[in-house]
Chain A
Amino acid sequence: MAWRVPSLTDPVNDWKPYALDVLSGILDGYPGARLNTRLVREQRVALDVDAGYDGIGRGPSLFMMGGSPAPGKTVDDLEAALRQQLRLVADEGVKPEELARTKAQVIASQVFARDSINAQASMIGQLESSGLGHRSEDLLLERMRAVTAEQVQQVAREFFVDDALTLAVLDPQPLPAGAKPKGRPAGVRD
């Protein structure tokens, strides 16, 4: 499931992209985040779930959610469960400790990523090519620290409408009786 959402164009005055980033962290930013805890461990409606948003890039961006249904559950069950998690944020907001934990996770993972020279190069390249400039990295962290619970709730209410949604389902087809899997295409190497 992918919704069209804005990307970051003005790092100082924009706030919605930062709030969308925090929202994706609330849903799927760490192993104990909402989607994994509720849909995989508690409701057992999914085998795995994910949510993600990358606000750095030219042009509009996408907020994505996805997963695979658990045995005995349908794609519709999973879709309804994912939508319900968005609605819960929109209706009830997020708890302060949840917000703090999500920010700590996002900030720590960005600091930790700088330990890799390769990741530093990609980050600088990404910031430059998106027009934000490589010097904006610390500013982005500061602005994300400033996101409030109300802002997260507000973006959850604003952007997740069906007019902006693309939904794709991979539906594996059964093999004809007696057929065997074709195996890997010719030329594929380990």
Chain B
Amino acid sequence: MRFLVALLATLLAPLAHAALPIQHWQTATGTRVYLIENHSLPMLDVSIQFRAGNAWEGGLPAGTASLTAGLFSAGTAKLTEQQISDRLADTGAQLAPTVDDDLAGFSLRTLSNAVEREQAVALLAELLASPGFPQAVIEREKSRTISGLKEAETKPETLASRAFSRALFGDHPYGRDMDPESVAKITRDDLLAFYQARYKAQGAVMVLVGDIDRSGAEALAERVVAGLPQGAAEPFQMEPVAALTQSSEQRIDHPATQAHIQIGQPGMKRGDPDYFALYLGNYVLGGGGFVSRLTDEVRQKRGLAYSVYSYFIPRLENGPFMIGLQTKRESADEALGVVRKTLQTFVAQGPTEAELKAAKSNLVSGFPLRIDNNRKILDYVAMIAFHNLPLSYIDDFVPNVERVTTAQIRDAFRRRIAVNRMATVVVGGGSAE
């Protein structure tokens, strides 16, 4: 009987791992392609990403990266903005740009019928190969962006996150932030220069999820990247983020009735050796909502805020680790004290066995919901692809979570989170009055 169970387990194991098989290859131009076939719905999702996010702007004005990504659909050598929008509408396809600090790119969703798919893919290929960046649309979008930024600058959360980002990253590209002045400076030549330098075929990553077979996917990928600038983006590696050398605290005056508080420091990167220890530890500290220590101390015991949370944003290099909350102006100092004490205690002692067990149970049981449709699979695999993580990342996720111990979490937090070198920003706090 025991033999039979063991045999069954052996037979079933490969099936369990075949849940989300990723096929992987490179195009002739050096774009890495990832394919997950799923023929249950007649649709296809495609994403393509470049090292063309905000942190790669170099000497160009801040805002160039996001304006560039947003203006591919503004016109090409052959098509006007209206024609592009009509062509998308004719096929029912959806095309959306994405930009963050590291990456910029597009996701395309189309029906998988040959006719619709070919039209949608031909359009994407043309946008990527010959963006026109027409002057009139540049002016329109610049003025829209500038008025959006001016409005955002009146809000305490914008002031807080700008000051926080500067305090964490200083002159590192992750500390860049566009403002009305920098956007006003952007010219058409800047957009073209950024496109030529950063939207390179080599080193781009493309993900396909849905109703297409391998040979169809290979042909599609070649067509999409064929017209891109050749070679690799230079520089290709993000510069490392320096740790903070001392604590800082900024108080920014603002008439809001709530004080906005952000505390943190540079955290971790994708593929970080401490990733799973920090990820699970943060769940206990402030990532797990109502079951986190920060919520317990700040909200449950003292009623100082509705919501208090902490998170890591892993990037190509160490992205932010942040604790955030809003509280009444008069309570800002008290809340700040409670948050600091809670963090210090957690870094010194780590989680209890019971807390770690609850964290694992939530993350393991919730994992299937993160990949339960094509769009989520596309985004997840695009993350794996962009950061060049192992193809087995999804299969390994649950075992990697289950393996973490309380001692590893305590050790990782002690080495990585320096409680005596934190950046603090308070917007609208009581002491500024």
Contact = CB atoms under 8 A, between A and B. Distances in A.
Interface of A: 30-32, 97, 100-101, 104-105, 107-109, 111-112, 114-117, 189-190
Interface string B252-264: 0000000000000
A109 B94 CA distance: 9
Contact of B85 (A32, A97, A107, A116): A32
B90 A100 contact: yes
A112 B116 contact: no
B42 A105 contact: no
A26 B383 CA distance: 38
Contacts of A115: 41, 43, 373-375
B396 interface: no
Contacts of B90: 97, 100-101, 104
B92 A104 contact: yes
Given A32-B86, A105-B89, A190-B306, A111 B372 contact: no
Contact of A111 (B82, B111, B306, B373): B111
B41 A114 contact: yes
B109 interface: yes
B264 to A, nearest CB: 22
A117 B375 CA distance: 12
Most buried by B among A32, A114, A115: A115
B275 to A, nearest CB: 29
B405 interface: no
Given A31-B85, A32-B85, A111 B91 contact: no
A138 to B, nearest CB: 11
A189 B90 CA distance: 43
A12 B86 CA distance: 32
Contact of B111 (A31, A100, A108, A190): A108
A31 B73 CA distance: 14
Nearest to B92: A108
Contacts of B374: 115
Given A32-B85, A109-B92, A104 B373 contact: no
Interface string B329-345: 00000000000000000
A117 B85 contact: no
Contacts of B116: 104, 108
8 contacts: A32-B86, A97-B90, A100-B90, A101-B86, A104-B91, A104-B116, A108-B92, A111-B42
Contacts of B42: 111
Closest 4 CB pairs of A and B: A108-B92, A104-B92, A115-B373, A30-B89
B384 interface: no
Contacts of A108: 91-94, 110-111, 116
Contacts of A189: 306
B36 to A, nearest CB: 13
A114 B111 CA distance: 12
B73 to A, nearest CB: 12
A184 to B, nearest CB: 12
B221 to A, nearest CB: 22
Given A32-B82, A115-B41, A117-B372, 12 more contacts: A31-B85, A101-B86, A104-B92, A104-B116, A108-B110, A109-B92, A111-B43, A114-B41, A115-B375, A116-B373, A117-B373, A189-B306
Contacts of A105: 89, 92
Contacts of A31: 85, 89
B158 to A, nearest CB: 17
Most buried by B among A100, A108, A116, A117: A108
Nearest to B82: A32
A105 B307 CA distance: 40
A78 B375 CA distance: 38
A97 B375 CA distance: 30
A32 B92 CA distance: 12
A143 B130 CA distance: 40
Nearest to B86: A32
Interface in B4-46: 41-43
A109 B89 CA distance: 11
A129 B412 CA distance: 54
Contacts of B43: 111-112, 115
Interface in B352-395: 372-375
B306 A32 contact: no
B96 to A, nearest CB: 13
A111 B41 contact: yes
Nearest to B45: A115
Contacts of A101: 86, 89-90
Nearest to B111: A108
A31 to B, nearest CB: 7
Contacts of B85: 31-32
Contacts of B307: 190
Contacts of B41: 111, 114-115
A189 B258 CA distance: 14
A189 B372 CA distance: 31
A115 B379 CA distance: 14
Contacts of A117: 372-373
A95 to B, nearest CB: 12
A112 B89 contact: no
A97 B92 CA distance: 13
A30 B41 CA distance: 22
B95 to A, nearest CB: 12
Contacts of A30: 89
A71 to B, nearest CB: 16
